[in-house]
Each structure stands twice: as structure tokens, then as C-alpha cells.
Amino acid sequence: MKLSELMAGVTPDEEFAGIVTAGDMVLAVDFSGVAESPAEYIVADEGVTEQTGALEAVTAESTYLRSGSTTTKTGTKRTFTVTGDRFAGDAFQDALLDHSLKYGTGQAVVKPYVYFNMLTGKGEQGLLSITVEDDSSGAAGENAGWSATLTARGTPTEYTYAAS
């Protein structure tokens, strides 16, 4: 599903106040590398059971003569862990689990993304490096599962959703 399809009929309110559920957070990726706008990005949706965004501080340790040890924050690492039940025919899963991404390296696995709260429209955008960890897990009688880690390259920029 394209981002434009997901957001059809949805009008974010920057002043929204209230509980936000995991389903209100939208992760969309330009697997093609040629999308003209985020409206064409593919949304993580069908069969996705978890979409966890995490932030990890990057730090440097220094020791000074009289003041001792100090930790300085030098950056923030953004990662997404995405897992789900395999749904063949879903555009996001089919692209994510494509041979070229599973076995790709370097720039071939770097894709543009947006991540935002669909209630407020506020979030971030940038580039992700995609690592597929699991493409068909499961025991007899269970749904086939998959998992991937998507790691932001550099520092994402602020993003506010706007209908195209």
C-alpha cells in the first residue's frame, strides 16, 4: 500500500492530544529509489506484528585532570525493528524480502523513508540501511515469520505529512 492510499481521508491535526497507539505510527519506504514524493513510498502494514522505533545515544568518554570522567553525547542512532507474518503479495514485504535486499550490500540496501504519527502528521525522514535477519521462520502449523532491522544513516530531518 502506498502512503497516499493509507492517508486517503485522514487529516492529521498538529494539535492532537491523547493516547497514540503503535498503529498510529507510520513507516513508509521508497524501495524503488525513484519515488517523486513520500506519497509514493510503500507502507509497512499487512502482516506486520511489530514496528519498534528505537533511539540510542552515541557517546564519547573523556577523563579530565581535576573533574574526572565525563560522558559527552555525540549523536543519536535511530533503528527500527520490523517483524511480521509473511503475507505474499504485500508490496512492503515483497520489496523488503526481495533477493536484492536480503543479499545486497552497501548503497544497494540504502533507501529513503518517512516515519510519522498519522494523528499529528509529525515525524522524521531520511535514509535507512536495511538488514533482513529472518525471511521464513516458524514451526509446523505456524505462520511463516520474518524480521528486519532498518538503521538510519546520519541524522534524520524533521518531517510533517502533507497530502500531495
C-alpha angle 114/121/77, rounded to 5°?
40
Structural domain span for residue 42:
3-160
End-to-end CA distance of the chain: 16
CATH of the domain at 77: 2.40.30
- Asked if pLDDT for residue 164 goes beyond 80, the answer is no
Q: What is the per-residue pLDDT across 61-112, written as a single tens digit (0 to 9) for each?
A: 999 998 899 999 999 999 999 999 999 999 999 999 999 999 999 999 999 9
pLDDT in tens, 103-133: 999 999 999 999 999 999 999 999 999 999 9
**Is 152 in contact with 110 (CB distance < 8 Å)?**
no
Distance CA 73, CA 8 (A): 40
Q: What is the pLDDT of residues 22-31, one digit of tens each?
A: 999 999 999 9
Task: State the total domains in the chain.
Answer: 1
